[in-house]
């Protein structure tokens, strides 16, 4: 309909009325005659405009027409015949429709065509992060949600651990190394191999709070002949302050036999191009993690069992759950008056869905009865099966919460008679 109207404004069309064609009525007294269409040149200074109009047909049995010349000041009503001016379509609506279609197509194209523009930076358009620094470091931002904070209104240690785990997997995925397994490369999947963590160290300088946005950077390095080390740095996106440092060691395990495995050469060729030759972000202090038992433990929590949601895709308990079990036996006065500043874990055995676990904690260097008013506190931990087999050994360090520092100073002043 729009196309027909626009065409008829430029190309004359014979009138459907035989009466109009026979009489050759003139509109405005023009001299041209093209099948009932009269043309008149309207002169206005140096500008000439040709106006075309079709001879009107009968309306209600009587002929209608225009008498005299067409004046520029005439007010055309809806009963007048359509001319070049009033046959134009609504170009603004047409332009808006074309723009909407173009923007939608451009958005779809950007989502589909997400190949890297530079070899040193792989961009992920879906918000999972990006690879920077010559393709060796993966970085991703997280917003601290309301359900990720604890009673202190700060992110929990489990939240931070989940961020570390998420960036590790997204690093493998964005680099194009993710196979069918949980972080396993294609060659690892062919050989039925999976990654398992043997050691984890975390140091927290400050916990983010609800609404904060943090940036997590992670990279991998070699650890001995058959291990891989993964490090993390967590920053406050607003202040660029370093919040958390973490370092871990991983080895390979056969998924069927559950035995540790050397790194096959095919797998080594896959992962070595992504290794960085850097020192760990946390240096091992060399202190041995002691084994504690019922006699040396100050707190014991028994009967801990994993839920279905605690298992990962490899059918063993997620390593983040171990931290939750360790805190189950942490002294309540410490949880109320102190915050976790560092944790060191050594994983000895994996834990399955039918396991029953015991959590043991021993406080070192401090009287248990004065924990609420103590300064820094150290604890040793052990997770074990009911038969005594060790799962995880750990050590935690705690510092007084900000509000508790004044209580400690008051306590010291009272002891010294100040």
| 319: three-class secondary structure by DSSP | helix
Q: Which of 112, 234, 109, 83 is nearest to 165 (CA)?
A: 234
Beta bridge partners, 52, equal: 39
In this structure, what are the phi and psi dihedrals at residue 8, rounded to the nearest 5 degrees?
-65, -20
State the catalytic residue, choosing from 351, 380, 381, 404.
351
- Any catalytic annotation for residue 314? yes
Alpha-carbon distance of 252 to 29, in angstroms, equals: 97
Q: Quick check: 375 and 408 in contact, CB under 8 A?
A: yes
Point out the catalytic residue in the list 52, 170, 314, 344. 314
Beta carbons within 8 Å of 264's beta carbon, 6+ residues apart: 187, 191, 193
Residue 318 designated active-site: no
CB 80 within 8 A of CB 87: no
Helices (H) and strands (E) in the chain, counts: 9, 15
Question: With contact defined as beta carbons under 8 Å apart, do 220 and 277 qualify?
Answer: no
Q: Report the Cα 109 to chain-centroid distance in Å.
A: 20
What does the block give as tokens for 406? 């004044």
User: Which candidate in 163, 171, 316, 338 is catalytic?
Assistant: 316
Residue 338 designated active-site = no
Stretch (H or E) spanning 402: none
- Which tokens in the block code for residue 241? 């302050």
369: tokens are 């009865």
- In whole angstroms, what is the distance from residue 336 CA to residue 408 CA? 14
| Calpha distance 368→273 (Å, rounded) | 50
Active site residues: 314, 316, 351
């Amino acid at each position: 309909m729009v196309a027909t109207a626009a065409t008829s404004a430029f190309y004359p069309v014979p009138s459907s009325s035989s009466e109009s064609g026979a009489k050759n009525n003139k509109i405005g007294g023009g001299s041209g005659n093209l099948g009932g269409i009269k043309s008149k040149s309207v002169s206005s200074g140096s500008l000439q405009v040709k106006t075309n109009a079709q001879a009107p047909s009968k309306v209600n049995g009587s002929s209608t027409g225009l008498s005299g010349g067409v004046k520029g000041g005439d007010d055309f009503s809806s009963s007048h015949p359509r001319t070049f001016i009033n046959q134009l379509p609504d170009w603004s609506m047409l332009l808006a429709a074309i723009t909407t279609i173009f923007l939608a197509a451009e958005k779809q194209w950007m989502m589909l065509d997400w190949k890297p523009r530079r070899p040193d930076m792989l961009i992920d358009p879906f918000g999972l992060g990006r690879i920077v620094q010559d393709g060796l470091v993966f970085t991703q931002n997280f917003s601290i949600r309301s359900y990720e904070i604890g009673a202190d209104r700060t992110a929990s240690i489990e939240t931070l651990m989940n961020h570390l785990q998420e960036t590790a997997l997204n690093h493998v995925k964005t680099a194009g190394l993710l196979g069918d397994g949980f972080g396993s490369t294609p060659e690892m999947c062919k050989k039925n191999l999976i990654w398992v963590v043997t050691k984890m160290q975390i140091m927290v300088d400050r916990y983010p709070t609800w609404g904060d946005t943090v940036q997590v950077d992670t990279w991998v390095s070699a650890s001995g002949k058959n291990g891989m080390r993964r490090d993390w740095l967590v920053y406050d996106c607003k202040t660029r302050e370093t919040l958390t440092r973490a370092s871990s060691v991983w080895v390979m395990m056969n998924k069927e036999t559950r035995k540790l495995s050397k790194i096959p050469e095919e797998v080594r060729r896959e992962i070595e191009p992504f290794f960085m030759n850097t020192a760990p972000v946390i240096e091992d202090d060399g202190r041995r993690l002691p084994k504690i038992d019922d006699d040396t433990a100050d707190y014991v929590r028994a009967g801990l069992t994993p839920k279905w949601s605690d298992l990962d895709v490899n059918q063993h308990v997620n390593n983040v759950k171990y931290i939750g079990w360790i805190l189950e036996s942490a002294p309540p006065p410490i949880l109320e008056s102190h915050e976790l500043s560092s944790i060191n874990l050594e994983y000895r055995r994996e834990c399955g869905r039918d396991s029953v676990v015991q959590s043991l904690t021993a406080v070192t260097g401090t009287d248990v009865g004065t924990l609420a008013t103590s300064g820094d506190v150290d604890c040793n931990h052990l997770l074990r099966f009911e038969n005594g087999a060790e799962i995880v050994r750990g050590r935690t360090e705690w510092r007084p919460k900000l509000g508790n520092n004044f209580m400690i100073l008051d306590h010291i002043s009272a002891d010294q008679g100040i």
